[in-house]
Structure formats: structure tokens, C-alpha cells
């Protein structure tokens, strides 16, 4: 009988080893997977990046061109081609059909635009004050919990009967020698009920992470056998000191960084467009006011009359009625973003378009200052967070431009399609390393080093190397976010809960 008991204990020990091994093998599969999201759904393109768009007003040196509007009828031209004129000489006179009502309409148009501009600026102030919605990881203070590991295998309680199984704390290093269980085998019993528990920190007050019920049976006819059973865990055993889990706390506004950036860009674009419209409308109002008060056009510089034309034909063709030249041309003063200094140079050709009548001509960058402007300018490209350098565009005198016209200046530069921006919260920095967590080819999470560039609006970071728009990345915080974790592709709607 004693030999049989020892054989039974050996079998129990073997079964316990197998059970523990199974627990440890299958435990990794119970870990939660980490959601990863398509970079293509998270990236953003800088609306001003590489656009090359600049704005400025036309000025002239050494030339004067006199154009007529649709409300002017030329009475007489006082000069001839080849004639020399001095400043103040009369060039032509005209009748005007302008009325006080038309002047009032032009004035109201400017005031209406100025009101819309002030409202847009106020709205931009509100948007700029918004803090992006974020989920901040809070690590609770669980210092009140003290775990005292026990030596395993450790019997918590029980006699080994069906009504009162033996509950053991075990782990991978538990030494299950036959002699250990010899004292627990009930004399004359045919079955032994054992429940193996794996607890955090191997402590009686640690949470139960795995449990496995096992029945060991013995009979004279069939020998020894074992099978699993579904074991109930009493409340006093299941009880443990539960630490407070890390949790995310909502902070900021109800808008994501992407939404705030989109609203800001939209409003800045509106402000830029309104500012341009006000400039154009103000110039038009000034011209109409001058037309209504003085019907004689005089020379503003000394020079030679280069050309005179039929007023009606000149108006239809968009040409000047009288042209005076003393050698010179047109110029547009613009501002170049510091981000574009390496992409645009003196002698580069640029395209100029008048917002007044759509006239398009070519010009040349003739000068770029080495000293940035003291004031940022939307005319430099829209990003108010960078410095701008004054530059001059030269345009031949035969261009059909009007002094004072507001124009756009576009350089011939291709967009950089190798970089993109993602929300800054997906990029982490530790010990000088910048990285993201991305899904590898095997579907497991990997820590991937990236090369970053500019920061846009404080919310987006430029990714130059290390990540493609076809990759999947995880929100890089949380207890399950680590290299080797299994990943599950999820939609951006799950990330932002909409």
C-alpha cells in the first residue's frame, strides 16, 4: 500500500508539472492585443508646404502707364509718341460716369469686408486658445500594497476532498517532489482534489492569474488516473489587494489636434483671402474717388512718351492708353519663408498673376535679403511661426501690369512627397531617441526609430525617415504597448471614439 501511495505521489507530481507548464505556455496568448491604426488615416499635409505662393503689390520705377476703366471716356490725349514730358504735365482728360451711389457702394463693400475680417480674426483667437483633446495616462500610487512572496508550492487550505479541495500556490520553479504530497494523501481515499493557483508576486494577497483543477483517482482494478475539473475558488482565497490600474484622464477641449489644425488652417485661409479682397476693394475705391474728383491725368515722372493708343482698343486689349518710360520696369516686394530659402534663389524665374484682372506674366527674383523681416507676413506663405526674408521680383516694363495691383508670385518648385506629418502624440522621445511603435511584418509591435523634421502648429510632427504612409502605428502609451505584443488593426474612429 505504501508503494502504491508513493507511485500515486509521483504521478501527482508529474501531472502538476505538466499543468504548470500548460499554464505558462498558454499565458502569453491571454495578453490583450494592441490596436494599431493606418498612418494614411492619421497623416496630414501642410497646406502651405512647398506651395511657393507669395503675394505683393506692384510698384514701378522709371515707367508710367495710364489705363482707363469702364467708367471713363477719354476726351483728349495731350501728348504724342516720342514727346518728352516733365512731372506734372497733363497726359489726357476724360469724362466720368461715376455717381455718388457707386462711390457709396464701393465704400460699403470695403467696410463689409473689414467687418468679416475682424470676425475671422476673433474666431482665430478662440481656435488658437483651444487645447487639443488628449487622454493622459495616470499612474496611481499603489505604495500601500505590500506583497510577501511565499515558498512554492504553498498550500493555502483544503483536505483534498471534492467538498474541500487542496489549494496550492505554484509557479514555474515549484519543486513538486513526491515526498511533499505524501503527507496530504488521505488514508484510504480513492481520489484527491487539487487546485493549482498562480498568483501575482507568488503572494497570498496577489491576484490570481491562472487556476487549474485536477482530480487524481486510484483503484485496485484500474490503477491511477487523473482528469481536470472546474474548481470553484472560495471568496476568502480569491480575495486580494487590488492595485488601482493606470487609467487615461481626458484633458483639453472636445476637439482633436487634427480638428483644431483644420479649423485653424481654414480660418487663416479665410483671413488671407479677406485681406486680399480688402486691398483690391480699397484700391478700386481710391481709383473711383480720384476719377470723381479729377478728370485730368498728369505725368508722375519725367521721361519719353513710349506709346499712345486708341482708348477703346486699349481698354479691350487690357493695354495702357499712354506709356512713359525713362528706363526701368515693374517690381514686386515679397517675403520668402525661412523654410524655402534653400529652394528659391536669385535669378530664379517666377510666375506673377494680378488679382485685379487676371493678367499673367513672368518675372525674376532679383534680390533676397540676408536679414529677416521684423514682422511676419501672411504674404510669405501663411505660416506665422517662421521668419520671413524680404525679396524683390523684377518684371519687364512691357508687362501689362498696373502700379498698385495686388499680385500672387509663384515659384517653380516641386512638392516634397517623401515626407508627411502625423500627430505629435504618436511620436515618443526617450534618452535622445525619437521613435514610434509600429506593426512589423509579423504583425507584432516593434519600436521603430524615426527621423523627424518641422513641427506644424504644435500638433503635428514631420516624419522624414523610418515610417511610411502604408504602415500601422499604435498610440505609444499603455501597459500592453511594448515590443513583441500582438497587434490588431483598428479604425481611427475607435481611437477618437466617434
Averaged over successive runs of 10 residues, the pLDDT of the chain (498 residues) comes to: 41 50 46 84 62 79 86 87 92 77 86 95 92 81 89 88 89 65 69 88 90 78 74 90 83 83 88 89 84 82 91 88 89 86 87 86 91 63 70 90 86 58 87 91 92 77 88 86 90 70
361-382 pLDDT, tens digit per residue, is: 999 999 999 888 876 544 444 5
Q: Is 223 helix (H, G, I), strand (E, B) or coil?
A: strand
CATH architecture of 53-132+257-411: Beta Barrel (2.40)
3-state secondary structure of 452: strand
Residue the block writes with cell 500582438 = 486
Domain boundaries, the chain: 2-30+149-245, 34-45+417-496, 53-132+257-411
Could you write out the DSSP letters of every residue in 50-84?
T--EEEEEEEEEEEEEE---TTEEEEEE---TT-E
Q: Cα(324)–Cα(85) distance, rounded to whole angstroms?
A: 8
What CATH number belongs to 34-45+417-496?
Answer: 2.40.420.20
Pairing relation of β-strands 166-169 and 191-199? parallel
Domain pair 34-45+417-496 / 53-132+257-411, same fold: no
Sign of the Cα pseudo-torsion (446, 447, 449, 455, in order) = positive
Q: What is the pLDDT of residues 290-311, one digit of tens each?
A: 777 778 889 988 999 999 999 9
**For helices 257-293 and 100-128, angle between their N-to-C axes, nearest 10 degrees:** 160
0.75 surpassed by pTM: no
Amino acid at each position: 500500500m505504501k508503494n502504491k501511495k508513493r507511485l500515486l505521489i509521483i504521478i501527482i507530481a508529474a501531472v502538476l508539472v505538466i499543468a504548470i507548464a500548460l499554464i505558462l505556455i498558454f499565458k502569453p496568448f491571454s495578453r490583450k492585443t494592441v490596436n494599431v491604426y493606418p498612418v494614411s488615416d492619421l497623416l496630414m499635409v501642410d497646406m502651405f508646404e512647398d506651395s511657393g505662393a507669395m503675394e505683393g503689390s506692384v510698384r514701378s520705377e522709371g515707367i508710367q502707364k495710364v489705363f482707363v476703366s469702364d467708367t471713363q471716356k477719354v476726351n483728349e490725349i495731350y501728348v504724342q509718341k516720342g514727346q518728352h514730358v516733365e512731372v506734372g504735365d497733363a497726359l489726357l482728360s476724360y469724362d466720368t460716369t461715376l455717381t455718388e451711389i457707386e462711390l457709396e457702394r464701393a465704400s460699403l463693400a470695403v467696410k463689409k469686408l473689414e467687418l468679416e475680417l475682424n470676425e475671422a480674426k476673433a474666431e482665430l483667437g478662440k481656435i488658437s486658445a483651444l487645447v487639443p483633446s488628449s487622454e493622459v495616462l495616470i499612474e496611481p500610487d499603489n505604495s500601500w500594497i505590500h506583497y510577501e512572496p511565499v515558498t512554492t508550492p504553498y498550500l493555502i487550505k483544503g483536505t483534498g476532498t471534492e467538498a474541500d479541495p487542496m489549494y496550492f500556490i505554484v509557479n514555474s520553479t515549484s519543486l513538486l517532489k513526491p515526498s511533499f504530497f505524501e503527507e496530504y494523501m488521505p488514508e484510504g481515499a480513492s481520489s484527491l482534489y487539487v487546485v493549482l493557483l498562480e498568483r501575482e508576486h507568488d503572494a497570498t494577497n496577489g491576484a490570481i492569474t491562472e487556476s487549474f483543477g485536477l482530480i487524481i483517482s486510484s483503484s485496485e482494478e484500474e490503477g491511477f488516473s487523473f482528469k481536470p475539473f472546474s474548481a470553484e475558488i472560495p471568496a476568502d482565497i480569491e480575495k486580494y489587494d487590488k492595485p488601482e490600474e493606470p487609467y487615461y484622464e481626458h484633458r483639453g477641449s472636445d476637439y482633436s489636434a487634427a480638428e483644431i489644425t483644420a479649423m485653424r488652417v481654414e480660418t487663416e485661409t479665410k483671413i488671407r483671402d479677406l485681406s486680399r479682397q480688402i486691398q483690391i476693394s480699397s484700391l478700386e475705391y481710391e481709383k473711383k474717388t480720384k476719377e470723381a474728383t479729377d478728370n485730368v491725368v498728369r505725368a508722375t515722372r519725367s521721361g519719353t512718351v513710349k506709346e499712345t493708343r486708341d482708348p477703346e482698343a486699349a481698354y479691350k486689349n487690357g493695354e495702357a492708353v499712354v506709356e512713359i518710360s525713362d528706363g526701368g520696369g515693374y517690381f514686386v516686394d515679397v517675403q520668402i519663408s525661412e523654410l524655402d530659402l534653400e529652394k528659391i534663389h536669385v535669378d530664379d524665374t517666377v510666375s506673377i498673376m494680378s488679382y485685379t484682372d487676371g493678367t499673367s506674366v513672368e518675372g525674376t527674383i532679383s534680390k533676397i535679403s540676408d536679414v529677416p523681416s521684423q514682422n511676419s507676413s501672411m504674404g510669405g506663405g501663411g505660416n506665422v511661426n517662421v521668419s520671413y526674408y524680404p525679396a524683390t521680383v523684377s518684371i519687364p516694363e512691357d508687362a501689362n501690369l498696373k502700379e498698385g495691383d495686388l499680385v500672387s508670385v509663384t515659384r517653380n518648385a516641386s512638392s516634397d512627397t517623401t515626407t508627411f506629418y502625423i500627430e505629435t502624440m504618436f511620436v515618443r522621445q526617450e534618452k535622445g531617441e525619437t521613435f514610434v511603435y509600429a506593426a512589423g511584418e509579423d504583425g507584432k509591435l516593434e519600436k521603430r526609430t524615426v527621423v523627424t523634421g518641422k513641427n506644424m502648429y504644435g500638433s503635428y510632427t514631420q516624419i522624414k525617415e523610418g515610417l511610411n504612409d502604408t504602415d500601422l502605428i499604435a498610440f505609444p502609451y499603455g501597459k500592453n504597448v511594448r515590443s513583441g505584443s500582438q497587434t490588431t488593426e483598428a479604425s481611427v474612429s475607435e481611437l477618437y471614439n466617434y
